[in-house]
Amino acid sequence: MILHKDGQFTLVTIPDLPGGFTQGDDELDAIHMAQDAIGNLLADQATYPPASTPEQLTVPADDRLVYVATDLAAFRRKYTHTVRRNITLPHT
């Protein structure tokens, strides 16, 4: 992911995921927010896009390239669940 300091916030771009944008109050918060964004973007996916290499990315001079790990199995256990509902339908 790419970190960009913008005033009081740190903006995050996750280049390999469409919609992969988030922000945090500081760098540590931005990293946690990025891990959450990655989990949300990939939670229902069966396959994942390949990660770009640093040579494939253009990182502006004032920005930083940072690697993060996200445990998708733990994310799914924490944030997804199955709800069982019983309904009665009229018999016609």
Contact 57, 65 (CB under 8 A): yes
pLDDT bin (cut points 50, 70, 90) of residue 18 is very high
Question: What are the residue ranges spanned by the domains of the chain?
Answer: 2-79
Rounded Cα distance, 51 and 88, in Å? 48
Query: Whole-model pTM above 0.75?
Result: yes
Rounded Cα distance, 20 and 3, in Å? 12
Rounded Cα distance, 50 and 63, in Å? 22
CATH topology of domain 2-79: Double Stranded RNA Binding Domain (3.30.160)
pLDDT bin (cut points 50, 70, 90) of residue 45 is confident
